[in-house]
Structure 1
Amino acid sequence: MNNRRHPPLTSQRGISLIGLILSLGAVVLIAMLAMKVVPTAIEYFSIKKAIVSAKNAGTTVREIQIAFDKQAEVGYITSITGKDLVISRNGDDIDVSFTYQKKIPLFGPATLLLDYEGTTAKSGIATKSQNN
């Protein structure tokens, strides 16, 4: 008898249950990591905007620090303050730089350490802090 209702078994296509579970696990891990890293990246870009605004708002070191602190309060910036900024003269121009580290706990003893730095200098190279 020739049974046409059931085609002969050939190679199956698609993802297996184990493959699906592993794929979903990887997606969940990446999503969890992104949920922890994205807020720090958003804060970093807010700091970069705030130093440009502070630089344009003042001519002395203290005025720039105060202007940054006001921007930080409005922009929910908590990683650095105006006193953490490195402010230096470059001829007639003022350069404002910052560097900081953000430590993000992942799970157990594992943490992720991110180094952020930025500057208003045209060269794009941040001035290192003299006071540690």
Structure 2
Amino acid sequence: MRRAHRRQAGISLLGLLFWAVVLSFTGLVAARTIPTVMEYYTIQHAVDKIARGNPATVPLARAEFDRIKQVEYSITSIGPQDLIITKEDERVRISFAYDKQVDLFGPVSLVIKYEGQSH
């Protein structure tokens, strides 16, 4: 009787190291970029709230954003002067755009371009 020769299956040390590097890099990028995404959504929420209030003047809209910025400590990338405020069909439209540089390691960084407008 011949015994069936079973081949060993599994992951090699080199394969394990490769996946460890890939997962570590992915985790690093996620950990560094998630706070910037959260800041973007906070800014978007603030802009929507201000536009729904339909402020009478541009300085009132900027003052409201400044007030929200003082409460929401996560907004650091833009200020009230960076908002583009227009009026369309008797409704206030607020838009914004900014770049955020995320340092990853050493000289390597990631630049994310954020932009949005009130709904």
TM-score, structure 1 normalization: 0.80
User: Is 1:65 equivalent to 2:85 in the alignment?
Assistant: no
User: Is 1:32 equivalent to 2:24 in the alignment?
Assistant: no
Q: Indicate the residue corresponding to 1:93 in structure 2.
A: 91
Q: Indicate the residue corresponding to 1:108 in structure 2.
A: 106
Cα distance in 1, alignment partners of residues 93 and 36 from structure 2 = 23
Q: Where do 5+ consecutive residues of structure 1 fail to align?
A: 122-132
Alignment: residue pair count: 116
State which structure, 1 or 2, has the greater radius of gyration over its C-alpha atoms: 1
Larger RCO, structures 1/2 (Cα 8 Å, 6+ apart): 2
Q: Where do 5+ consecutive residues of structure 2 fail to align?
A: none
Match of 1:48 among 25, 44, 67: 44
Given that residues 51 and 120 in structure 1 are in contact (C-alpha distance below 8 angstroms), is that contact kept between their aligned partners in structure 2? yes
Percent of pairs with identical residues? 34
Cα distance in 2, alignment partners of residues 69 and 52 from structure 1 = 14
Following TM superposition, by how much is the alpha carbon of 1:8 offset from its aligned partner in structure 2, in angstroms? 6.3
Between 38-47 and 52-61, report the one with greater CA deviation.
52-61
Cα distance in 2, alignment partners of residues 52 and 72 from structure 1 = 14
Give the AA of the match of 2:72: G
Following TM superposition, by how much is the alpha carbon of 1:10 offset from its aligned partner in structure 2, in angstroms? 2.8
Given that residues 54 and 65 in structure 1 are in contact (C-alpha distance below 8 angstroms), is that contact kept between their aligned partners in structure 2? no
User: Is 1:12 equivalent to 2:16 in the alignment?
Assistant: no
Cα distance in 1, alignment partners of residues 5 and 12 from structure 2 = 16
